[in-house]
Chains A and B, each alone.
Chain A
Amino acid sequence: MPFLSAMPPRRAATPPAIPSLEAQVAGLDLLRCVSRRRLLHLEPGAEPCLAFMHLQAAAEVLRDALDLSPGSDLSRHLDEAIALRLLEALSDPATVIGAGPLAALGASVTATAKLSGGSGSAEVSAPLGASLNAEAPLLVELPARTVVAGALPCGLGATPVAALPLASAADPMAFAAVAAQARLAGWGVALCGLTANTLGWLRPHPIAADWFILHWSEALRGGAALAGLRQLDPARIILTGCDTDAALDWGRSLQIRVFGGRWSDNAATSLSASPAGAIA
């Protein structure tokens, strides 16, 4: 054993290992771990419509219980485990139940979601099922290196999109290979994680993604970020975090068409009930 040292043992800066964290993740209620956000397609002269249902898995319950900071490696590990569970549940035809295109994610959903064929009486306890019932493709955040092997069961909207983290593009050729595989399996591919900071010094345009997900901040108006942004096709940008009219106006002025944020989440509540609902 090469590890001998005069250094006094240091207390490990990690929480004590209670059962197994992976087992705890496997036991979490998937519904409570997946955030669902509506991404809207907004175009002058056209009715607003739902562009994507944006699913993001996060083991927040466990993270809080363990007092982990959201950006820590351990908490991102747990998030990935949940994301993989989500993908598995989405890919399993057995979870699509009833005549309507309702995806129930495992037993927990069938237990809590007393929905039948899209009667419209969605309970608050089954928001995921209700969301997935919408006629919009899913955009699912997945771990780097996820290989999506098969198409989603029919009824889950049009071409789903695998949203991969920025680090998955570290080798753009490897990203292209993963993207090609995803397309063969009937998925589109998005690159997550672009911000005013990263656009200032990254050149994402060679990345073989169908969509680039950019998070809004005031700093996007700055020179370096704007220069980076102008290299991307605005029709392939999804602008998230648009909580203000200013953010929306900025995006529209750059010909961006797909938006998400608190604003769209609220607006879309009525939208999902009547897809041609009025949004000023």
Chain B
Amino acid sequence: MSALQSERAVLNALVHSPLGTSEAVELAALVRDTVASGVEREVLVLRLSVLPPALRRGHHRRLLEAAWAPLRTSARSRCFDLPNGDLCAVEAPPAHLVAQVRDLLLGALDADAAPEIAALVIRHLRLPAEAAVVIAAIEEALGLAARSEAPAPPAAPAQGFTAAALFSAEKALAMADLSPMLRAFWACRLDPGGGAPVPLWQERRIDFAAVCGAILPAHDPASAPWLRRQLRQAMDRRILAGLSRPDAIGDLHASLLPLGIGAVGSTEFQKFDALLPALLRGRIAIGFTAEEVLSDPDGFVAAREHLRARRYRVALEVRAAASLALIPWEAAGFDLVRLAWGEGLPALGTPEARALADALPHAADRMLLAEVDRPAAIAWGWEMGFRLFSGRLMERRRLAS
């Protein structure tokens, strides 16, 4: 399956709303084709969805519709109605009609909207050079775009992390129940052409930065990695204590729990292990990051053996593709690999991507592509052999379906 086809299949698998969906998918395919073939096209996007409400109604709306009309009827251009009401037209250069309509639209908005609004609403783009912008517009129209409310980078904490700050944070944690702050993300099976995502098991993760923001507002934990590691262990123990409460352990599904190595030997883990229902044994995976494994390799081996003897699965969590070249998952005794999706992963077709595909388990149930927030991640994942996905995108689709 080519990357282009798979991108289309991702959209088909994820989008259930019939209204305007097929046109969006067609447009995405057209954009990809221009990228693949290098054929030039000009695109006019009218983003009615970002227009101030007052301008979206009455004669304003009629003016814009009238200006757009020639693009619907001309044989030279092709018009797409997107599900969120945005309009898109494509014409081969020299795109006189697109240019003409653009000027008409700008004229129609001129009297009522500030120039910066007009620039936001009316976009004249060129393919294949600006394909990414057009694809982003399509994803947004489909409700698939990565949420733009990405957490604003917190103001850099004033102070370096000190041992004294660690001690007081540990005191605060000793009183805390962290289990409400544990987020559950479903790991879903998603096959090319296989329909909607099927939730299989959960990742239970804590937002470390958010907890640090609450208990250490003035300090930057990254400034002292070993203190950060000790704090992380204190959190792990509180999480395990919370999960061991009868109501919490009753709610537990097959899960991946990320822990530090030190937490595995803790009394909290012993208690959790003793209370774990027989049904769940063998269905809980404990995840260690590559950095954690290398911070204490001897401790890791002991923890791994302890976990395997008690029928836990052991997961390797990596962010960088090259980590798997250093830590071969099977030789290091892992049962599955969790790769976090990110911009740093190698592009399909590169030698790095081939090396990564070789280093991954060649078994769909042993590899998870996590932190998936856009369809491109799934298209990439399918090509790399992933069938299990988790992250915000899967949460939204799961809830929507």
- Residues of chain A at the chain B interface (Cβ within 8 Å): 1-7, 9-12, 14, 16-17, 20-22, 71-74, 76-77, 80, 143-145, 165-167, 169-174, 193, 195, 197-198, 200-204, 206-207, 224
> In the complex, A67→B289 CA distance in Å?
29
Kindly identify which residue among A7, A11, A20, A202 contacts B164, using a CB–CB cutoff of 8 Å.
Answer: A20
Asked if residues B226 and A76 are in contact (CB atoms below 8 Å), the reply is yes
Residues of A within 8 A of B181 (CB): 2
Is the C-beta of B296 less than 8 angstroms from some C-beta in chain A?
Answer: yes
What 19 new A-B contacts, CB under 8 Å, besides A167-B291, A171-B319?
A: A3-B175, A3-B176, A12-B174, A14-B230, A22-B162, A22-B163, A71-B296, A73-B229, A74-B163, A77-B226, A167-B294, A170-B289, A170-B326, A171-B322, A172-B320, A195-B297, A197-B298, A203-B325, A203-B327
Kindly identify which residue among A21, A167, A169, A174 contacts B163, using a CB–CB cutoff of 8 Å.
Answer: A21
How many B residues, CB 8 Å from partner?
Answer: 49
Asked if residues A197 and B301 are in contact (CB atoms below 8 Å), the reply is yes
- Most central of A6, A10, A21, A195 by chain B CB within 10 Å: A10
Q: Which residues of B159-184 have CB atoms within 8 Å of chain A's CB atoms? A: 162-164, 166-168, 170-178, 180-181
Knowing A172-B323, A197-B298 are in contact, say whether A77-B180 is a contact too (CB < 8 A).
no
> In the complex, A80→B201 CA distance in Å?
40
Q: How far is the CB of B228 from chain A (nearest CB, A)?
A: 9
Asked if residues B163 and A77 are in contact (CB atoms below 8 Å), the reply is yes
Q: Which residues of B295-338 have CB atoms within 8 Å of chain A's CB atoms? A: 295-298, 301, 319-320, 322-323, 325-328, 331-333
Residues of A within 8 A of B133 (CB): none
Is the C-beta of B214 less than 8 angstroms from some C-beta in chain A?
Answer: yes
Q: How far is the CB of A275 from chain B (nearest CB, A)?
A: 36
> In the complex, A91→B177 CA distance in Å?
47
Is the C-beta of B241 less than 8 angstroms from some C-beta in chain A?
Answer: yes
> In the complex, A224→B319 CA distance in Å?
27
Of all chain B residues, the one with the shortest Cβ separation from A224 is: B331
> In the complex, A173→B291 CA distance in Å?
13
Is the C-beta of B290 less than 8 angstroms from some C-beta in chain A?
Answer: yes
Asked if residues A3 and B214 are in contact (CB atoms below 8 Å), the reply is yes
Kindly identify which residue among A71, A77, A202 contacts B327, using a CB–CB cutoff of 8 Å.
Answer: A202
Residues of B within 8 A of A173 (CB): 320, 322
Asked if residues B225 and A201 are in contact (CB atoms below 8 Å), the reply is no
Q: How far is the CB of B170 from chain A (nearest CB, A)?
A: 5
Knowing A9-B175, A169-B294, A201-B332 are in contact, say whether A14-B166 is a contact too (CB < 8 A).
yes
> In the complex, A5→B173 CA distance in Å?
10
Q: How far is the CB of A136 from chain B (nearest CB, A)?
A: 29
Residues of B within 8 A of A204 (CB): 326
> In the complex, A21→B167 CA distance in Å?
11
Knowing A7-B241, A74-B226 are in contact, say whether A207-B326 is a contact too (CB < 8 A).
yes
Is the C-beta of B117 less than 8 angstroms from some C-beta in chain A?
Answer: no
> In the complex, A224→B299 CA distance in Å?
19
Q: How far is the CB of B233 from chain A (nearest CB, A)?
A: 7
Residues of A within 8 A of B224 (CB): 77, 80
Q: Which residues of B223-264 have CB atoms within 8 Å of chain A's CB atoms? A: 224-227, 229-230, 233, 241, 262
> In the complex, A202→B293 CA distance in Å?
11
Residues of A within 8 A of B163 (CB): 17, 20-22, 74, 77
Asked if residues B176 and A14 are in contact (CB atoms below 8 Å), the reply is no
> In the complex, A144→B181 CA distance in Å?
30
Residues of B within 8 A of A2 (CB): 176, 180-181, 214
Knowing A17-B167, A20-B162, A207-B326 are in contact, say whether A7-B320 is a contact too (CB < 8 A).
no
Kindly identify which residue among B171, B175, B227, B328 contacts A201, using a CB–CB cutoff of 8 Å.
Answer: B328
Kindly identify which residue among B170, B177, B233 contacts A12, using a CB–CB cutoff of 8 Å.
Answer: B170
Residues of A within 8 A of B162 (CB): 20-22
Kindly identify which residue among B164, B171, B230, B295 contacts A167, using a CB–CB cutoff of 8 Å.
Answer: B295
Asked if residues B167 and A10 are in contact (CB atoms below 8 Å), the reply is no
Q: Supply 7 A–B pairs (Cβ within 8 Å), ascending by A.
A: A73-B226, A77-B230, A144-B225, A167-B295, A172-B325, A173-B320, A207-B326
Residues of A within 8 A of B175 (CB): 3, 5, 7, 9
> In the complex, A20→B290 CA distance in Å?
32
Of all chain A residues, the one with the shortest Cβ separation from B333 is: A201
Asked if residues B326 and A12 are in contact (CB atoms below 8 Å), the reply is no
> In the complex, A169→B293 CA distance in Å?
11
Question: Considering the complex of A and B, which 9 residue pairs feature the smallest CB-CB distances, nearest first?
Answer: A3-B176, A77-B226, A5-B177, A73-B230, A170-B291, A21-B163, A171-B320, A172-B322, A201-B332
Residues of A within 8 A of B164 (CB): 17, 20-21
Of all chain B residues, the one with the shortest Cβ separation from A16 is: B167
Kindly identify which residue among A7, A77, A174, A201 contacts B177, using a CB–CB cutoff of 8 Å.
Answer: A7
Q: How far is the CB of B172 from chain A (nearest CB, A)?
A: 6
> In the complex, A174→B241 CA distance in Å?
35
Residues of A within 8 A of B333 (CB): 201
> In the complex, A172→B174 CA distance in Å?
36
Of all chain A residues, the one with the shortest Cβ separation from B167 is: A17
Of all chain A residues, the one with the shortest Cβ separation from B325 is: A206
Of all chain B residues, the one with the shortest Cβ separation from A73 is: B230
Asked if residues A4 and B177 are in contact (CB atoms below 8 Å), the reply is yes
Residues of A within 8 A of B262 (CB): 73
Kindly identify which residue among B177, B178, B229, B323 contacts A171, using a CB–CB cutoff of 8 Å.
Answer: B323
Residues of B within 8 A of A14 (CB): 166-167, 170, 230
Q: How far is the CB of B142 from chain A (nearest CB, A)?
A: 33
> In the complex, A9→B227 CA distance in Å?
21
Residues of B within 8 A of A144 (CB): 225
Residues of B within 8 A of A71 (CB): 296
> In the complex, A2→B319 CA distance in Å?
30
Residues of B within 8 A of A6 (CB): 177
Asked if residues B177 and A73 are in contact (CB atoms below 8 Å), the reply is no
Of all chain A residues, the one with the shortest Cβ separation from B329 is: A201
Residues of B within 8 A of A17 (CB): 163-164, 167-168
Kindly identify which residue among A5, A12, A72, A171 contacts B167, using a CB–CB cutoff of 8 Å.
Answer: A12
